Amino acid sequence: TILTDIEDLDLYATSRERRFRLFASIECEGQLFMTPYDFILAELNQMLSETPPVWKGSSKLFRNLKERGVISYTEYLFLLCILTKPHAGFRIAFNMFDTDGNEMVDKKEFLVLQEIFRKKNEKRETKGDEEKRAMLRLQLYGYHSPTNSVLKTDAEELVSRSYWDTLRRNTSQALFSDLAERADDITSLVTDTTLLVHFFGKKGKAELNFEDFYRFMDNLQTEVLEIEFLSYSNGMNTITEEDFAHILLRYTNVENTSVFLENVRYSIPEEKGITFDEFRSFFQFLNNLEDFAIALNMYNFASRSIGQDEFKRAVYVATGLKLSPHLVNTVFKIFDVDKDDQLSYKEFIGIMKDRLHRGFRGYKTVQKYPTFKSCLKKELHSR
């Protein structure tokens, strides 16, 4: 009866009053009080209330939300991983989260990501002031990580090349069963974020199916590419071949990009432009770069240069993508330093593999072009 009376009070309360009552955690002689932390949670909850459910996601999700959302450090790493993964890898990623194999991912399963990325990061920590490292962990993960390891498995000893590899390597049942036992503890330590609300609803009870997960990853790749493309297109349907070259070479370890840019400038005197579909298809191809390299090896092209027709055929065999003749010709003109219309695949793959580390390395960009960060800000605020 008392509970019913309390719920009935909401009928007489304003929205602000209901909100205060919802988050106030202290009661003294019948009066409710908020702690400072309650106030922060209330404001954060208000911000996250505008997050749409996953089935309403789109390739404009992040642009529409703008400042109305929050992303944790481990989610930031997860989002960066998505940008460089082939579509075929989306199923692998989903299965890594789906620890009970029921074709659905719940909030607790997704939060295993927090622990795996945290352990990966701790292995990278340099020796030093333990107090300062503990403070850094608090900033990045929201809590003091325990000094004793919770993942005492052989998998932890493996040195992985990337966070994605860490996920793949650490999918043993023993590891996940260990984390599953601590899932409630992990959940209680984690503050809701835009992604958690987007995937699992405001109450955290919804489950994520593969179709929605796939669409989210595809939309994110498309959104980031759209922002990059639009920052150069100036409202047109195409970007110039030279701009395409600059975007390709950004985030690589190529110090003198002027040689490649001049190749395009003089080899393609009449600009035809690169469309967004061409632009997107090329970056989908780059996300399949390892399969492409294997295909070239199978065709015995490893020790020699290849022509445009061979390149297109190898791309299609490895990835199922059909790159347009103009796009392939542009790529050849960028990297064909000796101008024999042949591509040294080792040099090309080496440069492009560097680009796939776009979020995890700090290469400098050429200052005469706008940085991606400034372009992103401009694009967000213009909408």
Q: What is the pTM of this model?
A: 0.74
Kindly tell me if the per-residue pLDDT of 336 is higher than 60.
yes
Tokens of 211: 């179709």
Kindly tell me if the per-residue pLDDT of 257 is higher than 90.
no
Q: Which residues pair with 112 in a beta bridge?
A: none
CA distance 72 to 376: 19
Instruction: Answer yes or no: is 374 within a domain.
Output: no
pLDDT band at 151 (very low <50, low <70, confident <90, very high): very low
Q: Which amino acid is at 53?
A: P
Instruction: Answer yes or no: is 104 within a domain.
Output: yes
Kindly tell me if the per-residue pLDDT of 314 is higher than 60.
yes
Instruction: Answer yes or no: is 213 within a domain.
Output: yes
pLDDT given for residue 16 in this prediction: 78
CA distance 193 to 319: 34
pLDDT given for residue 104 in this prediction: 94
pLDDT-above-90 percentage for the chain: 23
Tell me which DSSP letter residue 128 carries.
S
CA distance 139 to 47: 20
Closest by Cα among 273, 283, 299, 266 to 355: 283
Answer yes or no: do 88 and 187 share one domain. yes
Answer yes or no: do 14 and 133 share one domain. yes
Mean pLDDT is lowest, of 177-181, 272-276, 315-319, 336-340, for 177-181
pLDDT given for residue 361 in this prediction: 46
Which residues span the domain enclosing 295? 236-356
Answer yes or no: do 263 and 160 share one domain. no
Answer yes or no: do 174 and 60 share one domain. yes
Instruction: Answer yes or no: is 375 within a domain.
Output: no
Answer yes or no: do 25 and 163 share one domain. yes
Instruction: Answer yes or no: is 251 within a domain.
Output: yes
Answer yes or no: do 185 and 259 share one domain. no
Alpha carbon dihedral 18, 21, 23, 24, in 10-degree steps, equals: 160
Kindly tell me if the per-residue pLDDT of 273 is higher than 60.
yes
For the chain, the average pLDDT equals: 77
Answer yes or no: do 168 and 112 share one domain. yes
Instruction: Answer yes or no: is 373 within a domain.
Output: no
pLDDT given for residue 181 in this prediction: 58
Note the pLDDT tens digit of each residue in 31-54. Answer: 889 888 888 788 888 889 889 999
Phi, psi of 245 (to 5 degrees): -60, -45
Closest by Cα among 280, 272, 257 to 330: 272
Kindly tell me if the per-residue pLDDT of 372 is higher than 70.
no
Answer yes or no: do 256 and 209 share one domain. no
CA distance 155 to 146: 19
Closest by Cα among 115, 126, 255 to 171: 115
Answer yes or no: do 243 and 165 share one domain. no
Structure-token match 């403070």, residue found = 135
Q: Outline where DSSP puts E strands in the chain.
A: 26-28, 31-33, 104-105, 208-209, 238-239, 274-275
CB burial of 166-184 (b: ≥16 within 10 Å; e: otherwise) equals: bbebbbeeebbebbbeebe
Q: Which long-range contacts (CB under 8 A, 24 or more apart) does 239-244 make?
A: 239/273, 239/274, 239/279, 240/271, 240/273, 240/274, 241/268, 241/271, 241/272, 241/273, 241/274, 241/330, 241/333, 243/274, 244/274, 244/279, 244/330, 244/334
Answer yes or no: do 328 and 244 share one domain. yes
Mean pLDDT is lowest, of 25-29, 140-144, 189-193, 340-344, for 140-144
pLDDT given for residue 101 in this prediction: 84
Provide mean pLDDT across the span 150-170.
47
pLDDT given for residue 207 in this prediction: 95
Instruction: Answer yes or no: is 179 within a domain.
Output: yes
Note the pLDDT tens digit of each residue in 114-142. Answer: 667 666 666 555 566 677 777 777 777 77
CA distance 18 to 11: 9
Instruction: Answer yes or no: is 367 within a domain.
Output: no
Provide mean pLDDT across the span 348-369.
56
Answer yes or no: do 52 and 142 share one domain. yes
Tally of structural domains, the chain: 2
More confident: 200 or 30? 200
CA distance 164 to 64: 28
pLDDT-above-70 percentage for the chain: 71
Domain boundary pick from 166, 184, 217: 217
pLDDT given for residue 124 in this prediction: 59
Answer yes or no: do 49 and 118 share one domain. yes
Kindly tell me if the per-residue pLDDT of 305 is higher than 60.
yes
